[in-house]
Amino acid sequence: MEETVIVQSQELQQLIQKKLAAAGLSEAHAAIVAEHLVFADASGIHSHGAVRVDYYAERIAKGGMNRTPQITFEETGPSSGIVHGQNGAGQVVVLEATKHAIEMAKRSGIAAVGVRKTSHSGALSYYVKKAAEADLIALSMCQSDSMVVPFGGKENYFGTNPIAFAAPRKQGAPVVFDMATTVQAWGKILDARSKNKEIPATWAVDAHGKPTTNPHHVHGLLPISGPKGFGLMMMVDILSGMLLGLPFGKHVSSMYNDLTKGRDLGQFILLIDPQRFTDLDTFKESVETMVAELHDIPAAEQFQQVYYPGEINQLTYEKYMAEGIPIEKNIYRYLISDTVHFDQYSGSDAFAQTGTGE
């Protein structure tokens, strides 16, 4: 396995920002994307952190990410709207959409905001956490390109189609839960590749539809809990794709095939102001009580304690922001080098492979 180096968050932010700016992204947009990727790495979500910089840089340099998008917000009703992202950097576009949604939810009590034509937007937990910090309940989901074998099928159709949820609490950081609708996110497999590490046989299948532990042989991911995950990823695609008049399922653009074109991806944000339903302090105190009661449940054998879903990411974030973030040496070497990108993604399939992977 590749060794890691400990990098302080400020240095990592500067290195990523510099690399993205060198690829052609504006300093302002590069700073937003860098902050997001640092958040992901600090939260232990390395699949959506610095490992993505080389890919982003290649897409930016080749014109597949709009460097100067004119991001606009179309208010379609008192509680609904669409952000038109013009295929700008996903983190920039969706952050802008989240800000509009927060303002609308504060005004109307609820906000349903679609994001139309954006690039890969990274870890969804980043956005819902910001909404929860504004005392709102948040749900966000987005589509991705076809790489999942549907329950009972042999060919890929839906993407990993993640869902994130957050709610404010009385004392601690918001409760934040972020998950792919597959057994594991593709980014986790990408992370395993960077570490030359095997994956569990329950995550994916190879070109023959057989379980594989080699991240380089992956040709299809598996939905979480079989038909249940299959149903969730269908729901995500309907809300973040079809609802916005965008491609869906196997028609969603490839992440890697043509880096000269925008991805036209969709995302859906739903925010709720709990004050429209109950007393805010009572609600936040209830969430706090739930967390405490979960912590008080006796731990099962081989577990230290019960954590609420997503809590380990928050604890990791607090630790890494204080002590430094572990980054794979090969990724760090790239970040400090003069290389803008390695020209290794364009023309690849959904799994960043140019051949069969065998």
Q: What are phi and psi of 117, to 5 degrees?
A: 60, 80
pLDDT at 64: 97
Q: Is residue 257 part of a domain?
A: yes
Looking at residues 239-263, what average pLDDT do you find?
A: 96
Query: CB under 8 Å to 344, separation ≥6 — which residues?
Result: 54, 58, 352
Q: How confident is the model at residue 2 (pLDDT cuts 50, 70, 90)?
A: low
Share of the chain above pLDDT 70, in %: 98
Instruction: Judge whether 356 lies within some domain.
Output: no
pLDDT of residue 136: 98
The verdict on whether 120 is a catalytic residue reads: yes
Q: Which of 46, 48, 84, 120 is catalytic?
A: 120
- What mean pLDDT, rounded, does the chain reach? 95
Q: What is the mean pLDDT of residues 223-230?
A: 95
What percentage of the chain exceeds 90 in pLDDT? 88
- The pLDDT, as a whole number, for residue 186 is 78
Task: Write the burial class of residue 306 (CB in 10 Å: 0-12 exposed, 13-18 middle, 19+ buried).
Answer: middle
Tell me the average pLDDT across 11-30. Answer: 98
Is the residue at 229 inside a domain?
A: yes
Q: Which domain holds residue 156?
A: 4-280+311-336
Residue 189: per-residue pLDDT: 87
Average pLDDT over residues 159-174: 96
> Angle 205-209-212 (CA atoms, 0-180°, nearest 5)?
30
- Given a cut of 60, whether residue 141 has pLDDT beyond it is yes
Domain count within the chain: 1
Residue 128 located in a structural domain: yes
Would you place residue 355 in the very low, low, confident or very high pLDDT band (cuts 50, 70, 90)?
very low
Residue 352 included in any domain: no
**Identity at 311, one-letter amino acid code:** E
Asked if pLDDT for residue 187 goes beyond 80, the answer is: no
**Looking at residue 21, which CATH number applies to its domain?**
3.30.1370.60
Choose between 185 and 291: higher pLDDT: 291
Task: Assess whether pLDDT exceeds 60 at residue 181.
Answer: yes
Residue 350 domain flag: no
* Residues 68/87, Cβ–Cβ less than 8 Å: no
Query: Is residue 354 very low, low, confident or very high in pLDDT (cuts 50, 70, 90)?
Result: low
Task: Give the model confidence (pLDDT) of 30-71 as tens digits.
Answer: 999 999 999 999 999 998 999 999 999 999 999 999 999 999
Q: Are 287 and 175 in contact (CB under 8 A)?
A: yes
What's the pLDDT tens digit per position in 276-329? 999 999 999 999 999 999 999 999 999 999 999 999 999 999 999 999 999 999
For residue 151, pLDDT over 70 is answered with: yes
Per-residue pLDDT, 352: 75
Beta-carbon contacts of 193 under 8 Å, excluding residues fewer than 6 positions away, are 215, 216
Residue 287 lies in a domain: no
- Residue 357 is predicted with a pLDDT of 32
d(CA 230, CA 253): 20
pLDDT in tens, 214-226: 999 999 999 999 9
Q: Are 115 and 267 in contact (CB under 8 A)?
A: yes
Task: Please say if the pLDDT value at position 107 is more than 70.
Answer: yes
pTM for this entry: 0.94
